[in-house]
Every structure is written in C-alpha cells, then in structure tokens.
Structure 1
Amino acid sequence: MKIAFISYEYPPDTALGGIATYVEQAAQMLSHRGHHVEVFAGSSSRTGINIENSIIVHRIIGSNNSIFGEQIGQVFAERHRSVQFDVLEGPEIAANAKWAVQLVPSIPLVIKLHTPTFLIGKYSFVKPTLSQKLRWHLGALRQGKFPKPFPRWQYDPADDIERLHTLEADEIVAPSKAIADALINEWQLDYHKVSHIPFAYIPPAELLNTPINTRTDVITFIGRLEVRKGILDLANAIPLILKYHPNIKFRFVGPAWNSPRRDMNMRQYLEDKLRRHLNSLEFTGSISLLQIPELLSRTDICVFPSIWESYGLVCVEAMAAGRGIVASRAGGMAELLDGGKFGRLISPHSPTEIAEAVIELLNDPELRMGLGQAARERVLSEYNLDRIGALQEASYQRAIERRQRLGPRSATATTHPISNA
C-alpha cells in the first residue's frame, strides 16, 4: 500500500507529545512491512522534503497546529497527483487532514483517536473555589461593572471541527477501548466504523537493557505539568509518602502549563505548595525522546495519575524499561496494565491511593521488580510490529473498501458532515 500520514506533530521538529511518538513508530513499522510511507508534518524551522530514517517527510513551517492543516492540505494534494496514495491517516486533533480530504475527496480516510481538545478542556477545568468567585465579583464591582458569571467549561459537539472531521472518516481507530467508548457516546460515532488497535511500540535497546533491579530511591512523573495529568493529586500525595520514606526524591519531567493560580505556572505552583519539601523535588523541564531511557534508568517507580488518559505512551515506555508503575485507572493505562496485573492502578483525584500504592512498591522492591519484568514482557508480546502491523493493515483495507463503495465525497459532505451514516 501507499500510505500517507498527516500530523503536525512528528520528531524531531514537533515532538510535542504522544502523537509524534505514535506517528514515527507507525511509519517505521509500516515501512518495514514493505509499504510505501510518507509523512506530512509541521516544523518550527524548515520547509521541504527530506528522507528521515528511510521515511519521506514533507515539512512546512507553521506557527500553530490549526493553521498547519490548511497549509499541508495543498502539499498533500500536489504530492497525491504523482504518488496516488491508497489511504490517508490523520489525528482527530485540530482536524489536521480535513483540508487534504476536501482537495482529494476520493482518498480513503483513517482517523486515529488520541485525545480530542474538548476532553482536554473538560478534564483540565478546575472548579473555582469560593474565594476565587468572590475575588472575581469584587474585581468587577471595583471597575464599576455588573459581575458576569464565573467562567465555566462548556461544550457543543455540533460546532466541534474535530468531531465533524472524524465523522468524515472511513475508519476510526481507537488505541484503547476507553477512548472508543467515550467518543462513541459523546460524538455519536457509528460504532461499526470504530476499531480498537493499540499503538505499536518499538522499544529502544537502551530501555530493554535497563536493569530491573535498580534502587535509585527516585519516583518520576513524565508528562506536561497540567491539571489533567493528575499533577495536583501527586503533589498532595508527596507529604504522605515522605512521612514513611523521607529519603525519596520526586522528579517531574515535562513543560509547566497553567496552574490553579493565574500568576503561577504549574512548576511555580508546585514549588510553592511543597515548599517544605523542596529538597525532595527535581524539575527537569522538557527533554528529548532520546533522553528518556537514561532518565528511566535512574528511576524506580513511575507515577502517572491522570484524571483521564486515552492511551499513555509514557506508560508503555516505563513498562519497556521494567519500572514499577502506579497509574490511573481512568482511561487507557488501565488496559495497558491489564487491570493492574502489571502495575498498580489508582482512582483519579485520590492522593491517598497514590501514596498507598507507591509506599507498597517502596516497601517491597521484589514485588516492584517482578511487576517491572512482567510489564516489559507484555510490551514485547502485545505491542510488537507483527501483531499491531497486521491489525493496522486490515484497518486500512477496510477504509479503502468503504470509500470504494461510497465513491468520492461531495463538496457539501466534506465541508459540513451532518451524520455518521
């Protein structure tokens, strides 16, 4: 097959998160299986065509994810005229492939679900305290204005471009059953078009060679420092853990996003909240994917207490490294850890559960190491290229057959899809 990926995120230029990791690994997997693969990606510094790790990559400089889709659509359409791609895959995020489909209405479209913007907003919203509401109203009165209602999270699926673009798909692929069920319900997706295929993962040798029997006394969080990732719950668990293990260090890896206080980013907020325990904290900021193996080799336990996570590639990386894992049961990580057989699962918004799970693994290193070894073996058996590659190829074939039956999309359908038929 001739397979095209459109994704603003793609290493190294726009390695912003799990989408970049997934697209790179999927492109490599499908190329190794004999398919012609090209990637259409964003960049902060260059425009042009390059061969990157044997994959043809088309990059354009784009200031943000939303503008990228319209720009890259033209690039894809021009390239399609000469290559004649069999299938196009894009993420639901920012509807990256929407404009490409409008320009090439006959192309079979696969949408890979990650985490839609509305879910990020829903689970990142912090309910205001009474004092915050009072400050909001008093501030308006001081300015001689009538107080408006305090901002709240709102969502209308009828106007969601990511939902409308997903409805255009010939095949919708969910990496976890959790995100499939959530969006079938929230977006009224046609469940006949939704398939469940985990992300393939090619573990770097450095991760697989990480010794299982480490004793670093370090607990690591990897991800954006934001509310949705459960960072506030971890912060509340830290004093509980230090009470029983005062020599433990907590490492936070990732960029600082907004905090509950407008005058502080999340790192500043955590440092203020945990000022009595600053000697136990380390903040690395953003790091490259190449630094992950070395960082995990200096970690005993990884904690991923997300309020919601559609999949959790950081969890897969920790599994491949054989780390002890404490993760949220809200979303895809519960499936990765098979209900807790390969790590410990905790409820969202539960600092006490986080502390209890971490203390259990600290008290019993043999248990931690056994879970780590089993987790590594699960990555190799469940998420390898042969197993996931075959599933992904079958998914593309279904998309191709559906589009062949339906014929090219109409201009109205590609601009304003109104049903999931």
Structure 2
Amino acid sequence: MHICFLTNEYPKKGFPHGGIGTFVKTMAEELVKNDVKVSVIGINYIAENEREVLNGVYVYRLKRSGAKGFSWYFNSRAINKEIKEINKKDPINIIETSELGLAFIAKIKNTKYIIRLHGGHHFFAESEQRKINIWKGFQEKKSFKKADGFIAVSNYVKSHTEKYLSFNNKPLSYINYPVNTVFFAPKESIKEYKNRIVFAGTVCEKKGIRQLIQSFPFIKKEFPDATLEIYGRDWFFSDGSSYIKMLKEKEIPHLGIFAKDIFFHGNVSYDEIPKAYSQAAVCVFPSHMETQGLVAPEAMAMEKVVVFTKLGPGPETIEDYKTGLLCNPHDPNDIAEKIIWVLSNEENAKNIGKNARDFVCRKYGLDKIVSQNIDFYFNSIKNK
C-alpha cells in the first residue's frame, strides 16, 4: 500500500510547524514500520525543490510560487505534476489531506482521496464567530465533493463541521490523533520545578494565552514563586504585527512586578517539548477552540496534570479532576482557580497524572491508532 499525504507542514529543521505537521510525521513513520510506503508532498518554505528520505518517508518539498494573486494556481499545478510522476513509478493507493487540500487536486483513477478533519475554515469561522471567507469557503466545499472518505479526529469536529459541509454520504470514521507514549513518557532524570506553569502551542488569541497571562496575578498571590513558561511560535496579525509584541506592550505591563516571572521561549524543536513538560508542575492549555489538539494528551502521557479547555473536545480528552482539570478559557479567574488547586494538592495531582497517562495509553496509543488508520485505508481501497 502506498499512502501520499499532502501538507506544507511536514517538519523541517529551522522552520516552524504546527500540529498537522507533527501528526503527519508521527503517522508516516509508524506506517513505514508497518510496511506501508509513504510519500509527503507540500510547498517548500523556500523557493527551491527539495527531495529527501527521512526515516523511510519520501518527502517532496516543491518550489514556492512567488506569483502574487496566482500562487495558489502555480502551487497546485506543481503538486499535481509531482503526484502524477510519483504515481507512474509507484501507484498511489490513498491521498490524504486536510479540509481544503483537494480543491485543486486532479483525481487519478484507482486512487482514493481522504480528508482528515483537522479543523477547516468553516469550523474555525464558527468557533471564532467570524464570517466565512468566500474564496476559502468555495475551496473547502469543492474539496469535500472530491473526497472518497473522511476521518474525524474528535466527535466535536465532526458534529460542528457537518453543520456547514456535507460528507456526501461517503465513509466517515472517528480516529483520534496518535500519541507516542514512549517519546512522551515520564522523565525521571529531568528536574520538575515547583510551581512552574507551562504553556505550549502557537502564541495566539484562540489558544487562550492572553487569559492565561491575565490569570497570573491571582496565582502569584497564592504562590509568589510561580513562573509562567511559554513555548511556541509567534502569530501575526493581517498587518504583519506580532501577537507576542502586542502581549508584551498591552497585557504584561499591567501585571506590574509579576511581569518579570513570565518567560517567552519562542519556537522549540519537537525533541525539546518533553523536557519542557517534564519541568512543569502543571501544564495549561486554555484554548478557545480545538479540533482535538495534541499538546494536552502529550503532556498527560508524561503524567503531568493538564488544565485544558472545557469547550469543544475538552470533555472528550479529560475527565474533570480525574485525568486532568477543565477550565473556562475565557475566564482568567477560573483558569487561576484550577491552577491553584493543582499546585495546592500535590498528592492528588500525582494520582491525576498517573490516571492521565493510563487514559492516554488506552485511547491515543500509537499501535491502536495506526491499526485503525490502516484498516480505514484498506476498506477505502476495497470500496468501489
């Protein structure tokens, strides 16, 4: 079987990537271990073609078009050309991508096209209460019509996507993201810092980082030595200005003397994330919206108590006060209350951490999730 993922986010040293890139890398390498050939095609970060084999995965990064207003056309044409060339040498059974990914992809006979619901334009437009962009909305609908099947990473993303888009009576399966519970495991050799609060993810409004910062003074009153460690890449507004800069200029100064205990570590490599989690007393991800998210179950797999959003798929990921804590991500007081509870209840927190790892191993374990995906791929191929 030959699977081809279409994504621009496949991890590349020196360049940032998001959760989709992490997911594809994890899944691709595990599929290779199961004797599945895997190709990944995407547009490069730079204006060059690059081809390499990484841990058995064939990665094709195509030269990015600089044609203003028409880059989508030239980039799509380059991807279609690469797919054809790869398919001639080694026929592709499955092409998988995210919600908008099939819009301008030409279909090949005997190849099945799968969309994995990572959270598309319609989904996030609803959650962020903004209007549908006509061009992106058109692409997403066009893409959905071409799909031969769908995979939802949570029940929440399925139910909220189908409010706006039809699955066109095509096969749909609910399969969680996989978590490498060997890579994300307790690290006894790394020191945990008392009262250290860790956030990881893109530093942007929808991840709830502003409300987490606003909660910090309440926490400091109870735990004066608490620190807030923020790991993740910056996000930029439409005018090109930095979200982190906005926080530093408009939010953090209001904290007064507490501001000195907030640290921005910037984008860190995937390999460094377990160390960041290991040093945490509590990991906090108060997202306004997620399709599922990887950071919460990854930290849980390391026996860390996670404070996660109670919105969206939060209740699918955490049983409150048993495998973690759920908070109102729009309420700094509630975020602070949950963090203070964790820091005040060390023994209970340890038990929650152990329960969290057990839960993640059962629900998100690599072997189980990879097997579910392979079964879905085989059924898709057999489905005429």
TM-score bracket for this pair, using the shorter chain length: 0.7 to 0.9
2:3 corresponds to: 3
Q: What is residue 271 of structure 2 aligned with on the other side?
A: 290
The offset of 1:297, in angstroms, is 1.8
Aligned to 1:409: none
- Are 2:50 and 1:43 equivalent residues in the alignment? no
**Which has more helix, going by share of residues?**
1
Q: Alpha-carbon deviations, 1:378-407, whole Å to 9, x = none? A: 2222222321122112211232233x2xxx
1:377 Cα offset (Å): 2.2
Alpha-carbon spacing, 1:256–1:293, altered in 2? closer, same or farther (3 Å): same
The offset of 1:123, in angstroms, is 4.2
Q: What is the deviation of 1:350? A: 1.9
Q: What count of residue pairs does the alignment treat as equivalent?
A: 373
Deviation at 1:316, TM superposition (A): 2.0
Question: CA shift at 1:161, angstroms?
Answer: 0.7
What is the distance in 2 between the residues matched to 1:328 and 1:203?
22
Residue 34 in structure 1 maps to residue 39 in structure 2: no
Q: Which residue of 2 aligns with 1:108?
A: 112
In structure 2, which of residues 215, 238, 251 is the aligned counterpart of residue 273 of structure 1?
Answer: 251
Q: 1:88 aligns with which of 86, 91, 95?
A: 95
1:104-137 Cα deviation digits (max 9, x unpaired): 2542111111121344455456xxxxxxxxxxxx
- Any conservation in 2 of the 1:210–1:322 contact (CA below 8 Å)? no
Matched, 1:303 2:284: yes
CA contact (8 A) 1:237 1:351 kept: yes
Q: CA deviation at 1:238?
A: 1.5
Contact 1:302 1:323 in 2 (8 A): yes
Distance of aligned partners of 1:313 and 1:166 in 2 relative to their CA distance in 1, 3 Å threshold: same
Match in the other structure for 2:86: 79
Gap runs ≥5 in structure 1 = 126-151, 405-421
Give the distance between the partners of 1:338 and 1:107, measured in 2 at CA: 40
Structure with larger RCO (C-alpha < 8 A, sep 6+): 1
Q: Distance in 2 between matches of 1:162 and 1:362?
A: 44
- Greater CA deviation, 48-57 or 331-340? 331-340
Q: Counterpart amino acid of 1:244?
A: E
User: How far 1:281 moved relative to its partner?
Assistant: 0.5
CA gap 1:357/1:245 in 2 versus in 1, 3 angstroms: same
Which structure has the bigger radius of gyration?
Answer: 1
Q: 1:97 to 1:210 in 2, by over 3 A?
A: farther
| Cα offset, 1:362, TM superposition | 0.6
1:347 maps to 2:351: no
Amino acid at match of 1:289: Y
Is 1:181 equivalent to 2:186 in the alignment? no
Q: TM-score, normalised by structure 2?
A: 0.88
> Which residue identity lines up with residue 101 of structure 2 in the other structure?
N
Letter in structure 2 aligned against 1:111? I
Distance in 2 of aligned mates of 1:199 and 1:374 = 19
Displacement of 1:243 in angstroms is 1.9
Name the CA distance, whole Å, in 1 between partners of 2:111 and 2:159. Answer: 27
Match of 1:160 among 135, 138, 156: 138
Partners of 1:258 and 1:264 within 8 A in 2: yes
Question: Quick one: distance in 1 between partners of 2:83 and 2:189?
Answer: 44
One-letter code aligned to 2:86: R
Greater displacement, 37-46 / 293-302: 37-46
1:228 to 1:55, Cα distance in 2 relative to 1, 3 A: same
CA RMSD of aligned residues (A): 2.7
The within-5 A match list for 1:331-346 is 331-338=312-319, 341-346=322-327
CA contact (8 A) 2:321 2:352 kept: no
Structure 2: runs of 5+ lacking an equivalent = none
Q: Which residues of 2 match residues 244-393 of structure 1 at below 5 A?
A: 244-258=222-236, 265-271=242-248, 272-275=250-253, 276=256, 277-338=258-319, 341-393=322-374
**How many angstroms apart in 1 are the aligned matches of 2:108 and 2:145?**
16
Once structures 1 and 2 are overlaid, which stretch shifts more, 52-61 or 155-164?
155-164
CA deviations on 1:336-368 (whole Å, 9 max, x unpaired) are 224553100112312222111101001011122
Aligned CA distance change for structure 1 residues 58 and 230 (closer, same or farther; 3 Å): same
Equivalent position SS for 2:298: helix
Q: Distance in 2 between matches of 1:58 and 1:268?
A: 35
**Contact 2:7–2:40, Cα closer than 8 Å, also in 1:** yes
Native 8 Å contact 1:200 1:385 kept in 2: yes
Percent identity between matched residues is: 25
Q: How much has 1:180 moved relative to structure 2?
A: 0.6
> Once the two structures are superposed, what CA deviation does each residue of 1:167-202 show, in whole Å capped at 9, x if it has no partner?
321111011111011111121334653210001222
Paired AA for residue 49 in structure 1: R
Amino acid at match of 1:41: G
Following superposition, the deviation at residue 157 of structure 1 comes to 9.3
Alpha carbons 2:201, 2:232 under 8 Å: kept: yes
Asked whether the equivalents of residues 170 and 193 of structure 1 are also in contact (C-alpha less than 8 Å), the reply is yes
2:121 aligned partner, one-letter code:
T
Counterpart Cα distance in 2 of 1:79 and 1:119: 32
CA distance in structure 2 between the partners assigned to 1:69 and 1:332 by the alignment:
32
Equivalent residues of 1:312, 1:333 under 8 A apart: no
Preserved contact between residue 315 and residue 333 of structure 1 (Cα < 8 Å): no
In structure 2, the residue corresponding to 1:220 is in which secondary structure? strand
